[in-house]
Every structure is written in C-alpha cells, then in structure tokens.
Structure 1
C-alpha cells in the first residue's frame, strides 16, 4: 500500500520536475540540497535563487524571437523589468546582466534608475518607461532624467493633466507613451481600469494636445490587462480593441512605432501548473501582424513589462513546524516558526497560493493538516493548495523536526510585507540569503540580511 508522502506526490503529479527532485527523502530545488541550507542558516529562512531570474528573461526573449521569425514580423522586441515586483539591488543587478529595460511606477524608482546609471549597470540608451499616476515629485524626477539627456525616458501618460505637468517643468524635447484604460472582466466591481485614458478618447487627445507640439513625440501605446495574459475571449477581445486604436493612431502619427503589452505572464503556483507561453506569444505576434496588415500600417516594436515572471520563481521561504495542535477530532494545526501575514502577505491579502512542499521526511506517511502562523490573528493561516482544497504533509513527530518550503514567492512579498520595518505582532523578518552559481556551476550562498532584532523594532517604535 502506497501511503508515503513521496508516493502521494508521484501519483498525483508528473514528478520529479525540472526544479524539484528528491534525494534520500530530502527535497532538492534546482539541484540545491535545502536541508543543507537549513543546517547552515537555520529557519525561518528566505532565499533568492539568482540564476532563475536570468533564465526566465532568456526564455521570454527566445519565445518572442521565434514567434517573430515564424510570422516574418518586422518589428523588434524589448524586454522591460517591472521594478515594483522587487526593487532590491541584487535583483536589478541580475536583471540588467541581460540587456533589458526598466519600467518604473513611482518617484523613488527614478532614484534607483539614477543609481544604476551612475554605477554603469543601466545603459544611457536603455528605455526607462515611467508608468503610474504622476504628481509633483515623480514629475520632477522624470524631468531630471529627460533634462539630463536620457532620451529614452518615456513617461506613459495616465491622464489628461500629466502631459502639461511635464511641459511646465522642462523645455527639452521628450518622448511619451499613452496608456489605454482597458475594460475590466465582468467579475470586477468596476467596468474600466482607473489607469490610463479611454479607448475612444486617445486619438482626439493626440490631435488636441500632442500633434502640433514640436516638443513632444508620441512613441508608444501602452496596453495592460489587470488579470494577466490569458488564453480567453476577454483577453483577445481587449487586445483587438487596442490594435484598432494603434492602427487609427499610427495613420495620423508617424512617430508612433511601439506597442507596450505590459506584463501579466503567470508563474508556477502548483506542481500541476500548465501554461503554454510559447503559444500565447506566437498568437499575440500573429494578431498584431494581421491587424497591421489589414490596417495597412507598419507593425510596432513590442515592449513587455514582466515583473512577477522575471523574479517570482527565484524566491522561496523555509519554516520549521514547531508544534502540532489538535483542536478537534478532524483538524490538526501545524504551527510554523514565523507568520504568513508578515512573510507571505499575498497568501493572506488576496488568497494567493504558492507551491508548498516539505523539505524532509518524504518517506513518512502523510496526513491532512492546516498551517498556522505565530501571530495572535485568526487570519494567519494557510489551508489549501492551488490544485486541491487541502494540505497534505508528512506525519508530524515532535522528536523529528519537520521543515516546509514555499516556492516561487519572489515577487512583491518583501515590499508588501514591509521589509526591514514593523511586522504584525512584532514577528521579525526572517534571515534572507542569496543563492548563485560560480563560473564552474557550483552553488554559492551569501547572507543578505540577518533576522530582525528586537532593538531594530523598538527603535522604529521610539523606545
């Protein structure tokens, strides 16, 4: 009878997988023995596997190149990184090894851009695409880039006032993009995105505010769907509406030569994850190509702004199960030595699910459990997987510590959780390490940040 945890996984999924394997009952991630990391650094522990960032950038570039070759697409492809997914220097250093561009969303982002330029990490020719709602400080920082000669700084106009706000601050010539306010899925509580300008108003906005202004060059149309790039009628319908606007605008605006389709590629959130990236890219390129042929205009260069796809699958978190509480005849609570609210805030705030696997004891029997965090908050729990409304882990034994890992947590969790600041119930931020490979392909680890100390939290609180 197959009752071991390893049997459960192998019978339920196609396992082992590219990034996950088992050796002597322990989990390996990209060939890394996670039990050795625990021995060296302890838990709770967060880690970032840096090579995965470059790997995903290269994958996307390859897929777009292949699709453009197949469809004889005459435009170019530009990969941009959405910095709000993770602003950390170690992430940007890795990202910018791959000849990519930057998308920003707030004033302080521009300070990061300037730092990267000063250290030679970001080229003077790189595109800096400035999204988001822009007011005083953000406008001032964007203008400082433009006046400083960064000709490929492109503010993406979000509303009717932003262009004039920039014009009031600079006499330099500059390029802009316009963001389309896409219509949201029917399940949303509102019909139209708060970001951007409506489909029907973009051409008239160009004719009224941009066409006869020699200081401004419209280069880009920006299109983004909040729910991501999905193979469904809603996405394809919104893309076609966007392409109609592009064609109409291109016919009266010869400087327009770029279409930014935003981000939205999903990342793996289950061992059963199945998303055909290559097909989606192929079909997007085909749709753009056909729309431009029909409209008798040149195809645009394609920009993307992948954030989660770039960095999400590089991150992970490891916890120890401290204790098992049996609250009734059916529910067993495995209590971890940290908090979901503070370390994986998306699991609490938007019910996001990550890949959850034990680090050890794969040869033991399994049981159904609930996972609880350390805070005295009823919402600090994790109760299901993406593929099933339950969690199964090796049987807990007090004498044999059980460690569990959450994977593909690299996007947003640190900044949303308030990295380096106060945490709910003053639960400290875990130790964070960086994992890389040297020239020989051997694993190297480096401590990025120690676990927060009480003195740091008390200082913030004014004690």
Structure 2
C-alpha cells in the first residue's frame, strides 16, 4: 500500500523546520493541529504570532550581515506594508520587532493614530505614505506632519500632489517621489499607472520642491509587482532606478535614501526554493557598483515587506465533508469552506499554497480535486506548485479527514472582505491566534468567531 506519508517523504526533503509529523498527525511550527481542531472545530484560520517576528529578524539579519560583508555604507530600515494584513495583532507583533510602517490609504492613517494612542509607535516612527491619494489621505498625512510626526513622509505619486502639502503643511517636512517602473514584458501595460515618469523627476524636484524651504526630498521609491526575483527584468529595473537615483542625487544633496518596493517571496510549496542571502547580496552589489560608477554615496535602504512579514504565519484548516465521484476518474473532496470566499487568490490569481493532510498520514493516498461550498464552477483547487495534481489520504469509513492550506496570512482577508458579504453567503471562518508564553508554552485564543447569519442580514438590510 502506498501511504500518504511515503508520498510526502519521497517528494520532499521532509520533515522541514516548520512541518513535522507525530503519530500520523501534522504539526505546524510545533503546533499540534489536531488539538486545535478538537478545541475549536473547523473551518478555521489560525495565525502563529511568533512567525511574524522571526521573519522580520531574518530579513534584518540578512541585510545587516550582507552590508557588513560588502562594506556597504548606508543603513537598512524594515517597513511593514499594512495592506498585507491590517489586523491589530499583526501590526503589534511586527512593531515589537522594531519595524516602521508603509501605508496605502487614508484609513491606514486611522490605524497610525490608534497605534500612537496605545504607545505602540512614537513620532519618530517612519510612516512611508504611498499610493494615489484622495483628499482624506492627504489631509491625514498633513495633520500628522503638523503634529510632529517628523518621519511621516508622503511619497509623491503624481506631479500635482505636492500642491496640497504646499498649501497645508506648516512645518519642515520630508517627501519622497515614487518612480513609475516598467511592467513585466508579459504585462498588459508597458509602464505602471503609479508613480512619476522618470523624465519628470528632476523637473518636479527643481520646480516644485527645491524652491520651498519647508520640503526636503529624502527618498526615491520604486515598486516591482513581481517582488524581488532573480530575473533579467528585475535587475534591469533595479539598475535603471539606481542610475536615476544617482542623477537626482547630484542636483539634490539632501536625497539619501531609496525604498525598494516589492519584497521577498514566501514559500508556496513545502520545500524552500529561494536563496534570500544571494538576492540580498546581489541587490547591495548592484547599488554599490552603480553608485561608485556615478560618483555618489551609497544610499540608505528601506524595504517594504508585507507578504514576507505575515504570509507564512497563518493557515486555513478545513474538514472534508464528503467525497463525490463525478465520472470514472474525477474524485472530489468537498470542504466546509470556499476558495473564492476564504482564499480568493486561489480563484483570482491561481495562487498555490503548501497543502497537507492534518491526519491519516498512515493511510493510502489518492489523486483528488478539492471543491468549495459555493455554487460557482470556479470554486476548486486541483494542483500544487510541484505537481499538476493533488494527492490526499483516503478517508477511512466513519472518520473525518482534515486538511490545511499554509502560508495564507497575507491579503486573503482583505481581498475577501473580512466580515462582509461573500459569494453564496459563505461566512468568514473563525480566527484563532497562537502565541508562546514566557515559558515557551503554546497559548491559544479565539480572535473572532465564525461570521453569523445575523451579521450578514444586517449588512444586507434585512430586519433580524
């Protein structure tokens, strides 16, 4: 009999740092998942808070060690992108590890106010304000600057944005400029819709920023949608950006920082396939080489890590409700949730995550398709990153099978509209938080129960 455990051990170098098996049951970062299921039931989302801190410290260590190795003169600052996950427990866990913050909208700034009120940040925290800004966002930025947030920095996204700050900012202020990067060759557009054209940057500085003593151009920012990858496209865009930095630096002495947007990727399969250290060193070598060629000092570096910060901290756990053989060969396992509503990137972007059975590792495996609970034909999952198919254990008669999708901590709640209305009114699952106490023992608590029908009816305007 070909057991599920044999399949996993033969396919991967297993066990891994985060995935282990005891008594034919899966542990995730040392968390006995069956114990969580027995306590809380399914479907559930869990977040293991210590993973957030370990990811931050990993990136800080990589950049600081690589800077020392290469004798890189600039400093390194880690920013967390709030858009990856706005939850308070994520923000507070990240801030414990000395991060700064990158925002995307006016409502983000309400989070900044709340964090400051709770003493989680102070007025020296960097708040890098990105995005195309409506009135509310510009107003919040201005209020923070005028109230003494000395490192609240609007990143100008178009030529007219500076006009608002000129009219309303009353104190000295730092600003940045986002450069409009070229998109991937396969993308539908040549140039990003966001940011200022390369050819307009120096004119923007010399005509709009330099003449006003209140404003100091400190940062150039660019964003690569693919994230940091070892591709000719990535290195070409990075080189073009650093050359432009050097050009602007020669006319703007106070400019001293670059923000590399688009962060490290996370593991979308059980096995790691990414050399973070190599990429870090190559980024630094590229910047250092071009700056030396151009005769300008090496800039300080900011990175914006959202997915990398929070993605690997979370998992979605489901029960298999039933199995259905729909023809001679298409066997379906039906879950007590939905990909479209719980993990929308699986549907919208064909995103893959590490998928493992939680129990029954000693049972025979079979090829299956996984179906969600909505009536939509697209609500399914049938391939892994390492394979064009999915294998899971056979379901023993009278016993439940549980499965987990891992590294689901970034964007899924934001994209699915957490607590709102979902396709076929499939509810948001309960959310469980897991941490360690001072003795290293796991502690769990429920952050939110499963969304109720009453909450949905109220949103829809029905009397309950």
Task: Check whether TM > 0.5.
Answer: yes
Deviations 1:384-428 (A, max 9, x none): 111111000001234111000000000011111111111111111
Contact 2:330–2:369 (CA<8 Å) still a contact in 1? yes
Which residue is equivalent to 1:119? 118
Which residue is equivalent to 2:153? 154
Which residue is equivalent to 1:458? 457
Q: Distance in 2 between matches of 1:366 and 1:168?
A: 67
- SS for the counterpart of 2:168 is coil
Q: Distance in 2 between matches of 1:338 and 1:354?
A: 16
1:9-408 matched pairs, under 5 angstroms:
9-408=8-407
Q: Distance in 2 between matches of 1:195 and 1:397?
A: 53
Which residue is equivalent to 2:434? 435
Contact 1:323–1:398 (CA<8 Å) still a contact in 2? no
Alpha-carbon offset, residue 173 of structure 1? 2.1
Which residue is equivalent to 2:3? 4
- SS for the counterpart of 1:155 is strand
Q: Distance in 2 between matches of 1:71 and 1:199?
A: 29
Q: Distance in 1 between matches of 2:203 and 2:87?
A: 40
Deviations 1:342-371 (A, max 9, x none): 110111111101111000000000000000
Q: Distance in 1 between matches of 2:134 and 2:404?
A: 41
Deviations 1:101-142 (A, max 9, x none): 000000010110011111110121110000000121000010
Q: Distance in 2 between matches of 1:245 and 1:203?
A: 9
Deviations 1:425-451 (A, max 9, x none): 111111111000011111100110001
Kindly tell me the number of residue pairs found equivalent between the two proteins. Answer: 462
Q: Distance in 2 between matches of 1:412 and 1:77?
A: 25
- SS for the counterpart of 1:177 is strand
Deviates more, 1:56-65 or 1:200-209: 200-209
Q: Distance in 2 between matches of 1:143 and 1:401?
A: 56
Alpha-carbon offset, residue 99 of structure 1? 1.1
Q: Distance in 2 between matches of 1:449 and 1:44?
A: 13
- SS for the counterpart of 1:285 is helix
Q: Distance in 2 between matches of 1:30 and 1:273?
A: 15
Alpha-carbon offset, residue 169 of structure 1? 2.1
- SS for the counterpart of 1:75 is coil
- SS for the counterpart of 1:389 is coil
Q: Distance in 1 between matches of 2:192 and 2:95?
A: 31
Contact 2:76–2:300 (CA<8 Å) still a contact in 1? yes
- SS for the counterpart of 1:197 is coil
- SS for the counterpart of 1:109 is helix
Contact 2:226–2:262 (CA<8 Å) still a contact in 1? no
Alpha-carbon offset, residue 272 of structure 1? 3.2
Alpha-carbon offset, residue 185 of structure 1? 1.1
- SS for the counterpart of 2:383 is coil
Contact 1:226–1:264 (CA<8 Å) still a contact in 2? no
Give the gaps of 5 or more residues in structure 2.
none
- SS for the counterpart of 2:66 is helix
Q: Distance in 2 between matches of 1:257 and 1:8?
A: 52
Q: Distance in 1 between matches of 2:243 and 2:425?
A: 52
Deviations 1:318-365 (A, max 9, x none): 000000010000100100011111110111111101111000000000
Q: Distance in 1 between matches of 2:267 and 2:174?
A: 36
Give the gaps of 5 or more residues in structure 1.
none
Contact 2:263–2:303 (CA<8 Å) still a contact in 1? no
Contact 1:272–1:387 (CA<8 Å) still a contact in 2? no
Contact 2:176–2:219 (CA<8 Å) still a contact in 1? yes
Deviations 1:157-211 (A, max 9, x none): 0000111122222232211000010001110000000110122221222122112
Q: Distance in 1 between matches of 2:271 and 2:82?
A: 28
Q: Distance in 2 between matches of 1:398 and 1:158?
A: 59
Deviations 1:6-40 (A, max 9, x none): 00010011000000001110000111110000000
Deviations 1:270-295 (A, max 9, x none): 02331000110011111111111111
- SS for the counterpart of 1:230 is coil
Q: Distance in 1 between matches of 2:413 and 2:164?
A: 33
Contact 1:80–1:102 (CA<8 Å) still a contact in 2? yes
Contact 2:145–2:152 (CA<8 Å) still a contact in 1? yes
